[in-house]
Structure 1
Amino acid sequence: MKKIIVLMCALLAVFMETKAQKGFNPGQLQVKWEVLQNNYQGKQQFRDELILSNPGVGELPSSGWKIYFNFPRMILPATVEGPVKMAHANGDLFYFEPAADFKGLKPGDSVRIEFTADAWAVNITDGPDGLYFVENDKENVQVALKKVIAVPSEKAEQLMRIPADKIAPVTPKEVYTQNKVITDLPESSLPIIFPTPSSLSRQPGYFTISGTTAVSSDPAFKKESDYLKSELQQIFKRKPSAAFKGSIVIKKDPSLKAEAYDLTVAPSRITISAGDSAGAFYGIQSIKSMLPADAWAGKVATVNLPCVTVKDKPRFGYRGMLLDVARNFQSKQQLLKVIDLLGFYKLNTLHLHLSDDEGWRLEIPSLPELTSVGGHRGHTLTNTDHLQPAYGSGPHTDNPAGNGFYTRQDYIEILRYANARHITVIPEIESPGHARAAIKSMDVRYNRLMKAGDKTEAHRYLLHDLKDKSVYSSVQNWNDNVMDVSMPSTYNFIGTVVDEVVKMYREAGAPLKTIHMGGDEVPAGVWQKSPSVEKLRSELPEIEGTEQLWLYYYTRVDEILKKHNLYTSAWEEAGLKKELVNNISKNVPNTDFAQRRMHLYVWNNVLGGGAEDLAYRLANGGFPVILSCVTNLYFDMAYHKEFAEPGYYWGGYLDVDKPFKFIPLNYLKNSHEDNLGNMIPAEVLSHKEALTATGKANIVGIQGQLWSETVRSKERMEYMLLPKLLGLAERAWAPDPDWATDPDPIASEGKYQKSWVAFCNQLGKKELPKLDYINKGYQYRIPTAGVEIDGGMVKANSQFPGFIIRYTTDGSIPTVKSSEYKQPLTIRGKINFRVFNKAGRGGRTVSVTN
């Protein structure tokens, strides 16, 4: 009898398993997305469609499920056409569910959904991402869908934002035209050291360097001497076949200013002279800069360095790069790799954006919820175990883009690593806006302690008034992401975080002069119905509205930082206040904060927006300013207008030429077009405020920004970062080039073109080939080929001389084994072109038909 029962159970199990295999699997669902029309109905909105297909086995039920997805635009639910209902969850998270007329989706069937969203959609970044399926009665089980199939936009109504959009999609022909000015220069004519030194003169002879070259130094520079020895041993893995007698000496010269160095390469000795260890370090970087790619690739045992005399110093004391690890996370190992890159190109500041609405990435041991909750994203209806998905991070808390944080020990290691490379790490704690991760984490702490009966401790770090009925929506569509600045608990929180951050720096032995406290994009409507705010206003009648609350908040934050001898850094909005100018409300510099020496990072110079000269006005008004201009220094902007090119573009498109052509103290000189490609009348810019002598002294430095909404992997980080970072490095370190100061527009343009050609050759023949091997290689962007058809002749070119163009005629994607383009082709039919670097890695393929 038992055998019969066992057999029956086995048969039932097989039957159930077979039935399950034949049942519906939501992971098989496919979604296709296409933009139908921008400027839909003559408004700044677009119409698009989703096609939901079921290619699998089993039927999608007619009810009882939702599909969640992230979308960077606000969807207008009333515009949805199709058998589903759409709704906004929060932030960039939306979902759709079956409507009453949805009849289910059988295998092989599809359903079409149309809807309208605000603004516009131009490239692949604008599409839905991170789709996942949830059964309503099984919210704890989620199934990620396949990656969305994005249908490339090709028509004008799909690619042009509004009628005023004058920026045409980049075609192979347009790329060819842009590249025509880039002539091939002999490598011997290119700069020996990059970034360009203050002065360099070539001398006769060579110095032979290898991994066994002797290195010595004054005692003050022992760390730098040991660093150079280690670097040479790692670079030159082969031993030379003969002994060489040359040596490298690092000497202290008190007459040289901070970060400056002198470098002499003679046949028998290299001498670095510096006044401080940073200067010695940069002299070492210049030696490393002289090494060819073959040395970094481990292919040679020795290198003959040309004899030179160099006198060098940085243009700006602050040469920075912001990395946003809050929106999407990057590992500790990747940060160390970036730090090496910054040090190699003589950038000295890493600005780490550690917190935002979508993540808190630094462990604060006394507030563990910040990382146990705020350090993770996944499907949730409560945000009590983790935060909701964002930027395509999906339903699960193991996605490396949405999940992760630096432990206290990780951060100390990062600080020590950066400090050894003379890089200061500035932490940013976003406040009072962009603070949802912190707010939700402290809510969890509050609920835990209230449940334990500890009401006093529960309220200690609460970041919003639980009875606040204010209604608002941030730029990123959050309705609950702003700290309540009237609550004492908010300052308890800020003070505790600052205390613990200071301790980490002290333990690491790393310098800390400031903490960046955010200050941007606080939406209208906040605090208006907060009981806590009303209480504060009754106690302080001078607080009449939200403008005074802004001043109240940053005054208190500044006092918290000053207790640690730190100054406050923030985005530009923190240094502005509203005043009536000719009966018009305008943002003007807040002189009180200027007197406090608050450092402002100014991003808004959007051409045509009215704030083109804001950085200069703030510097003239007494603020120390770090130029962070979106038009030239936002590396998350797409390289150019093409559907397949990732990145945002609200501030314009940004290829490597944009940071290279940036003129820090006079950037309006070569600013001519707005972000839609329309020329800005000269008379408009002529009325903008120029830097005064005081203002010039207040330009502390410049910084590139890499916001990470579209950066979900280390490869994408390096793609968006490089080669743009090389243009930033040149502008931050090198003196103004002659084209930047020539008052004659025609002469200035001619000099610029000559300098641009040399820069492209420098990148293609020297710098990027090195980056194929340094730190195991960086995945920089390889440009697409330019292609033109002229009288039946197919001509191709590349932005970077020294890179190789390959092609195929059989429809396949070119590989390193494909034919190399060397001269115009007369082949008929479709031809695929692809640019390769010297290491054999290829960029994106483009096609033409002859």
Structure 2
Amino acid sequence: MKHTIRSFMYLMLTTVFCHAQPFVASDIRLSWTITENNYKNSGETLSRITLYNQGKTNIPAKGWAIYFNGSNPRLQDIEASPIRIHHINGDYFKLLPNAASEGITPGGQIQTYVLSRELKNYTDHAKGFYIVFDKNPSVGIPIKAETGSLIDYSSREKELASKIYKENILIKQLSLEQLPPVFPTPNSYQFLKGGDFILSSAIKIATEEQFDNEAKYLSKELETLFGKSPVIKKSAKNSIILQTDKNLATEAYQLKITPENIVITASSNAGIFYGIQSLKTMFPPKTWAAKQDSISLKSVLIKDAPRFVHRAFMMDVSRNFQPKEEVIKLIDLLSLYKINVLHIHFNDDEGWRIEIPGLPELTAVGGRRGHTLTEEDRIFPAYGSGPDVNNTTGTGFFSRNDYIEILKYAAQRHIQVIPEFETPGHARAAIKAMDARYARFMKEGNEVEAKKYLLRDLNDQSEYRSVQGWNDNVINPALPSVYTFLEKITDETIKMYKEAGAPLKTVHFGGDEVPEGVWQKSPVVKQLIAQDKSIENIDELWYYYFKKVNKILRSRNLYLSGWEEIGLKKILVNGKKQMVIDNRFTNENFHTDVWNNLHGNEDLAYKMANVGYKVVLTNVTNMYLDLAYNESYYEPGQYWGGYVDVNKPHSFIPYNYYKNQKEDFRGESLKPGYFDGKDRLSAEGKKNIVGIQAPLWSEIIKTTDDFEYLLLPKIFGLAERSWAKEAEWEINQDSLKSEQLYQNDWSVFVNTIAKKELPRLDYYSGGFNYRIPTAGYTSDNGVVNANTQFHNFIIRYTLDGTEPNGNSKIYNNQIEDSANLKLRVFNEKGRGGRTITYYK
């Protein structure tokens, strides 16, 4: 009888269990919390992962996994953990329940602890969490996830606020009359007597025929302001005159304003265009806020020319995509400030962003991210892009027509667009795309076509990990199909530039960060080395590859651009492999973007220029705009190369950047003599410094606002240093005098961007989401003093712990010490920056 009852109860329980509602994605919630930095002096961060069951059904210990992107976490205690972590590739991981655990009961939770590299700000947190059930493995469902930190950052925030306060005190308050009439700072200017010129809708443009395009551009710009398009004639009184002076340098111009007319003189179309842009920056900042009746302009004579021919901004659209409209808006910004090169990073491990006719998989596969088990029609999520392939940051590309439109828009504004196809490393999106193409043609039985553009050796067993964690992201240079692929994308690119009527002088083929271990176990590499005796070892494949790439470009009248590694090679130094300069390419007109001035490479740019490479200074410590403005936990950005605020690009000295380098990559002060023994730039090397570039990598950028926040106002420093003439503080040998001169120049610069350029950008080209600085503060004897970097911006505060808004009290003087004090800076338009908390 007892046996019968037990059997009956078991049958009932089984029936109830089988018909109970299974757990769903909304039942589970994840919390990922930083608990300790520098755990046990290891330099690592300890974090706690908690999974909560918010449903009414038991969550079993099998049948599901949670996917996410993060910074290489690993379990603190593998055996005791109820959760396992599996690294898939790159920054892509999944959490799995430990089959030995009991699952999660309704209302219950399980926890584990993980270690990772040091996490310094909130953008470091793992992201993009979604769950996948074994029963439906092709579908990913986002789950509730919270990330945060238990670390007390108050002492760091207080110290930072005090540092900002002290820096702000040194900035002098200047009037508009004390500032240069145009930005970037012109070579010379002189205000003239005789009154103002009144610009109105009645204005005419008188131009020589060769400047017709610039006249049309100016006419359209004035139509935006006045609602009426000026008439363009060959001559006219009381007009804007565009005329030639063949004695001026290529990009030089003169701008003369008198009560009778405005005259812009140049020897080239670019010079005329820059004169027009200078004229626009003479307009009152809020000119673009509404239609104007007239604009009054002071009489002035400006003589101007750029310091460098290559004034570049690099836009990364591969890691996270930005739409065509944002690129057009960016071009408006760059051209206004005479930045004449837009370098677009089209591909990387996480995305391919440009349509290439004949290779549809590049965008159909490589241009799409979402949950996948096979990567046949998309690649893995990255940087938190999540499971949905229709996300706006991981998925996206420029169609051929989009890019032609971008090229036309840029060319009209005298901006050269340099396309970058990152190879042979950082090429995973392209590799996976060509794998998909291979699979398509193999299914059709066409092996020849399948292998035509293949980028990897199918039998390669090499083992490696890139800096970003990928083990399959490097193109194999021993494959002939690789060069067929490079020729194809180059030729299709040339066609787009020709159709757009845009100049194409170079193609950038990357060359960055190829990890140790690649190609070691590749049969095709082994075969190539056996056949070609000039290739002594695996490392010599680098020279072999770029020699062939260079030949492809030279045959098409193009030169090769790349990151610094295109001019380096690996050799054994004291038993260890080390990158050194390769002299074999020094006469090939290679243009190298030298970013690495860290960890013993501080003089690399000068070394390369001294031996003959053309160098674009792209120093990470001063020019990487994706680095956080400062060390606050609440400030977005990277920090592996230090911190880059508004001052870093502005203080950069191209021909002696050691002089103003005061911090290391950790943001700590450099010791005296730090640069002793480093190579200096030679007279010949100086001729090979062709320009300056500021990159903005997009790993943490999810929106156009994110992009503009990191871009502005930092990019003003690039505009100033690449255009304005060499400043006295750059070359003055008296360190105290040099510092005084710099501080004066810095005050002029800050006042200029705060009182003229940022208010202009509130409206220009639809307005920009530039970063508004945080307030600095200090306290003494029960009172708090606060200030802001931009004197015309307003500090508002609250004393009850609430977020200050446009109606909060305005800080005018000292505030009484309060534990609930919060401060926030607002611009002239009323938009607020990040709120900071006062810590006693």
CA distance in 2, matches of 1:74, 1:540: 43
Q: Work out which of the residue numbers 504, 512, 518 in structure 1 matches 2:504.
A: 512
The secondary structure found in structure 1 opposite 2:306 is coil
Is the 1:169–1:641 contact (alpha carbons within 8 Å) kept by the matching residues of 2?
Answer: no
| Equivalence map 1:377-526=2 (5 Å) | 377-526=369-518
Write the letter of the residue equivalent to 1:180. Answer: I
Please give the per-residue CA displacement for 1:185-226, whole angstroms capped at 9, x wherever unaligned: 222211210000011111122111134321121100011111
Give the drift of 1:171.
3.4
Match of 1:811 in 2: 801
Write the letter of the residue equivalent to 1:707. Answer: W
Match of 2:543 in 1: 551
CA distance in 1, matches of 2:763, 2:588: 46
Give the drift of 1:45.
2.5
The secondary structure found in structure 2 opposite 1:668 is coil
CA distance in 1, matches of 2:183, 2:755: 13
Give the drift of 1:23.
6.5
Is the 1:376–1:387 contact (alpha carbons within 8 Å) kept by the matching residues of 2?
Answer: yes
Is structure 2 residue 35 aligned with structure 1 residue 46?
A: no
Give the drift of 1:107.
4.5
Is the 1:206–1:307 contact (alpha carbons within 8 Å) kept by the matching residues of 2?
Answer: yes
| Equivalence map 1:725-764=2 (5 Å) | 725-764=715-754
Match of 1:673 in 2: 663
RMSD (Å), alpha carbons: 2.2
Number of residue pairs aligned between Structure 1 and Structure 2: 817
Write the letter of the residue equivalent to 1:93. Answer: Y
Write the letter of the residue equivalent to 2:302. Answer: V
Please give the per-residue CA displacement for 1:497-546, whole angstroms capped at 9, x wherever unaligned: 11111111111110001000000100000000000001101101231222
CA distance in 2, matches of 1:535, 1:79: 43
Please give the per-residue CA displacement for 1:732-773, whole angstroms capped at 9, x wherever unaligned: 100122111111111111111121122111121111111100
Is the 2:315–2:695 contact (alpha carbons within 8 Å) kept by the matching residues of 1?
Answer: yes
- Structure 1 residues 45 and 849 mapped into 2: Cα distance closer, same or farther (>3 Å)? closer
CA distance in 1, matches of 2:800, 2:815: 15
CA distance in 1, matches of 2:794, 2:79: 48
Give the drift of 1:804.
0.8
Is structure 2 residue 246 aligned with structure 1 residue 254?
A: yes
Give the drift of 1:103.
2.9
| Equivalence map 1:722-801=2 (5 Å) | 722-801=712-791
Match of 1:265 in 2: 257
Write the letter of the residue equivalent to 1:224. Answer: E
5+ residue gaps, structure 1: 1-18, 160-166
Bigger CA drift: 262-271 or 814-823?
814-823
Q: Work out which of the residue numbers 267, 291, 309 in structure 1 matches 2:301.
A: 309
CA distance in 2, matches of 1:239, 1:567: 41
CA distance in 1, matches of 2:519, 2:277: 51
Match of 2:582 in 1: 590
5+ residue gaps, structure 2: 1-18, 231-235
Match of 1:71 in 2: 70
Give the drift of 1:80.
7.8
Is structure 2 residue 127 aligned with structure 1 residue 129?
A: yes
Is the 1:220–1:252 contact (alpha carbons within 8 Å) kept by the matching residues of 2?
Answer: no
CA distance in 2, matches of 1:582, 1:69: 41
- Structure 1 residues 585 and 395 mapped into 2: Cα distance closer, same or farther (>3 Å)? closer
Is structure 2 residue 575 aligned with structure 1 residue 575?
A: no
Is structure 2 residue 187 aligned with structure 1 residue 198?
A: yes
Please give the per-residue CA displacement for 1:330-369, whole angstroms capped at 9, x wherever unaligned: 0001100001100000000000000000000010111110
- Structure 1 residues 577 and 155 mapped into 2: Cα distance closer, same or farther (>3 Å)? same
Match of 1:614 in 2: 604
Give the drift of 1:35.
2.2
The secondary structure found in structure 2 opposite 1:667 is coil
Q: What TM-score, normalized to structure 1? A: 0.93
Give the drift of 1:235.
2.3
Give the drift of 1:51.
2.3
Bigger CA drift: 827-836 or 766-775?
827-836
CA distance in 1, matches of 2:264, 2:106: 72
State the identity as a percent: 47
Bigger CA drift: 486-495 or 36-45?
36-45
The secondary structure found in structure 1 opposite 2:666 is coil
- Structure 1 residues 834 and 152 mapped into 2: Cα distance closer, same or farther (>3 Å)? farther
Is the 1:51–1:111 contact (alpha carbons within 8 Å) kept by the matching residues of 2?
Answer: yes
- Structure 1 residues 647 and 23 mapped into 2: Cα distance closer, same or farther (>3 Å)? same
- Structure 1 residues 77 and 808 mapped into 2: Cα distance closer, same or farther (>3 Å)? closer
Q: Work out which of the residue numbers 632, 651, 669 in structure 1 matches 2:622.
A: 632
- Structure 1 residues 424 and 708 mapped into 2: Cα distance closer, same or farther (>3 Å)? same
Q: Work out which of the residue numbers 319, 325, 330 in structure 2 matches 1:338.
A: 330
Write the letter of the residue equivalent to 2:547. Answer: T
Is the 1:212–1:239 contact (alpha carbons within 8 Å) kept by the matching residues of 2?
Answer: no
Match of 1:182 in 2: 171
Q: What TM-score, normalized to structure 2? A: 0.94
CA distance in 2, matches of 1:122, 1:549: 38
The secondary structure found in structure 1 opposite 2:216 is helix
Write the letter of the residue equivalent to 2:172. Answer: T
The secondary structure found in structure 1 opposite 2:673 is helix
Bigger CA drift: 48-57 or 290-299?
48-57
Give the drift of 1:78.
6.1
Is the 1:473–1:479 contact (alpha carbons within 8 Å) kept by the matching residues of 2?
Answer: yes
Is the 2:73–2:114 contact (alpha carbons within 8 Å) kept by the matching residues of 1?
Answer: no
| Equivalence map 1:555-566=2 (5 Å) | 555-566=547-558
- Structure 1 residues 748 and 141 mapped into 2: Cα distance closer, same or farther (>3 Å)? same
CA distance in 2, matches of 1:36, 1:427: 43
Bigger CA drift: 220-229 or 34-43?
34-43
